[in-house]
């Protein structure tokens, strides 16, 4: 199980880093998944990720309970609905559309209920 969590963790780090440069791939969810996997499999990698100078801030604000930046919420919800809308257009199965729309609604509610991070200006 430890090796599976390490593999998922490193794959998530790679996808999170790619997501920094590709606007259709989210960064924060992958980095949070990596942190969760590393927390259960490797304290060393977890410490490295959370304290990383570039990747760490994406995780620390959420884990500390400070919240998600408003820009991040808008970006995540907007891209999710864009991709779900395209998927619903391309997938003819009504049950699949229902599942995708239900998932999008629930994830949107979850994101909106999270505290919004206020950065001093």
Residue-level pLDDT at 49: 93
Same domain, 1 and 58: yes
84 is in which domain, residue-wise?
Answer: 68-111
Residue-wise pLDDT tens digits, 30-50: 888 899 999 999 999 999 999
Shared-domain flag, residues 14 and 62: yes
> Is residue 13 one of the residues assigned to a domain?
yes
**Measured distance CA(109)–CA(48) in Å, rounded:** 31
Report the C-alpha gap between 98 and 58 in whole angstroms.
Answer: 31
Q: What local confidence, expressed as pLDDT, does residue 119 receive?
A: 66
Task: Report the pLDDT averaged over residues 44-64.
Answer: 87
Name the phi and psi angles at 116, rounded to 5: -90, 125
Predicted local confidence at residue 24, as pLDDT: 64
Cβ pair 41, 6 in contact under 8 A? yes
In a domain, 103, yes or no: yes
User: For all residues of the chain together, what is the average pLDDT?
Assistant: 85
Tokens standing for residue 15: 């996808």
Q: Residue 68: phi, psi to the nearest 5?
A: -115, 135
State residue 120's pLDDT score: 58
* In a domain? residue 17: yes
> What is the count of structural domains for the chain?
2
pLDDT at 6 over 60: yes
Whether residues 29 and 83 fall in one domain: no
**61 and 2 housed in the same domain:** yes
Band of the pLDDT at 64, cuts 50, 70, 90?
confident
pLDDT at site 21 = 81
């Amino acid at each position: 199980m430890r090796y599976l969590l390490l593999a998922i963790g490193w794959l998530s780090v790679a996808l999170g880093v790619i997501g920094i440069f590709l606007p259709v791939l989210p960064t924060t969810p992958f980095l949070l998944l990596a942190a969760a996997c590393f927390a259960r499999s490797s304290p060393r990698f977890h410490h490295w990720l959370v304290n990383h100078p570039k990747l760490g801030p994406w995780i620390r604000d959420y884990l500390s309970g400070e919240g998600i930046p408003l820009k991040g919420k808008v970006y995540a919800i907007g891209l999710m609905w864009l991709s779900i809308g395209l998927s619903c257009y391309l997938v003819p199965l009504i049950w699949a559309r229902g599942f995708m729309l239900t998932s999008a609604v629930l994830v949107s509610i979850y994101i909106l209920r999270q505290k919004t991070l206020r950065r001093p200006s």
